[in-house]
Amino acid sequence: MYRGTYTLIGQEMSMFTRKLEAQLRYQQIPYQWEIKSQEKTESINSRVGTNFIPVLKTPDGWMINDTISIGPFLHDRFNGCPVIPDSSSQRGICFILEDFFNHWYPRHALHSRWCYPENVIVTGRRFGTNILLSKHIDVELTDDEEARVEGFGEVMLNTFGAAACEVQGAGPDKSDAIKADFARLLNLLVAHFKDNNFLLGERACLADFALVGPFAAHFLLDPEPKTWLGEHLPLFEDYVARVWSGARSDTRWLDNDQLPKSLSPIFDYIIKNYHAFAGASIAAAGRGEKFFELDLGDGPFVARSMKRLEKARTHVQDELIRANCNSAIMTDSGIMSFYMAESTLNK
């Protein structure tokens, strides 16, 4: 164990900041918040070398900014509370599910945040509280502070939100499609969590933190997507609370490298949706095309190609090879095919 307090640098409305916070809390790692406000942005960026959040500052002076790297780093440093399984299939699925939640839920999160005017108002006040005031979103503001954050949602929408939705092919005109897809995945997760406390059973892993991120920062916080949860709201509040409360020493992943059977329909969903989306995005980037068109069953949409999805794909590929994933459930389900395929980025 490395003694000292870690510093979580980010914003409370960021799913990746909340993802990292989930891991810090689950592993019970001492940490403190540093809100990345407008006033601090230049100094933080100059120290880290990037504008992205979150950033983790370690007690020994390191500054790390990619949750894909930070997760295994903290797993190794605090190995008395492991969050990556040792067994082959469980380890492989941990990284596959992390990748899925990292890169698929942003479509729903961005759309639900920026495509509904009332949600923009509420979200803008919270962003303003973090960015303009360097305060936490649950504090009471003075009249002067309220005046400063008023209208900040429109500023964020025009400088970030609308364009971010365009990148994902998830603009206001795709409301019905996004909601339908959100409901399909939600129902699969509900079925899983009725019999399991976490994604791999009774102990959380890196993928759970990637799932908590969008729920803590978006779906359980923003008024619009919160209504999409309907009767399932308490189930996901309880799930986030279980991760938030920290690991229990008496919990283990399933014996004999087993996976919960309720993950199988989720694998099918991932293959038909996220893997199809990411594959098309990477292939378009490889052809030098800025945009691509795709129809996943709810009507066609146009999204921007993203080379970074290939970086994420090969990261998981490396982990699958390292874990020697060759069990029947891994090979027969087809969940590894996207990751083990040859790159199409330069074809």
* Amino acid code (one letter) for 299: G
Q: Which pTM was predicted?
A: 0.96
The answer on pLDDT for 346 being more than 80 is: no
Task: Tell me what the mean pLDDT of segment 317-344 comes to.
Answer: 92
Q: What is the pLDDT of residues 142-174, one digit of tens each?
A: 999 999 999 999 999 999 999 999 999 999 999
Q: What is the pLDDT of residues 186-202, one digit of tens each?
A: 999 999 999 999 999 99
Task: Tell me what the mean pLDDT of segment 99-126 comes to.
Answer: 98
Enumerate the H helices of the chain as residue ranges: 15-26, 41-48, 67-77, 88-114, 117-131, 143-149, 152-156, 162-168, 175-193, 206-214, 223-228, 233-244, 264-270, 276-286, 308-323, 328-333, 337-340
For the CA atoms of the chain, what is the radius of gyration?
20
Beta bridge partners, 295, equal: 300
Task: Tell me what the mean pLDDT of segment 201-211 comes to.
Answer: 99
DSSP single-letter state for residue 218: I
Domains and CATH numbers, the chain: 6-77 (3.40.30.10), 88-109+175-340 (no CATH), 117-167 (no CATH)
Query: What is the structure's pLDDT at 1?
Result: 54
Beta bridge partners, 304, equal: 291
DSSP single-letter state for residue 249: T
Q: What is the pLDDT of residues 18-27, one digit of tens each?
A: 999 999 999 9
In b/e form, how buried is each residue of 176-197, taking b as 16+ CB within 10 angstroms? ebbbebbeebbebbeebbeebb
Written as six digits, the tokens of 304 are: 């921007």
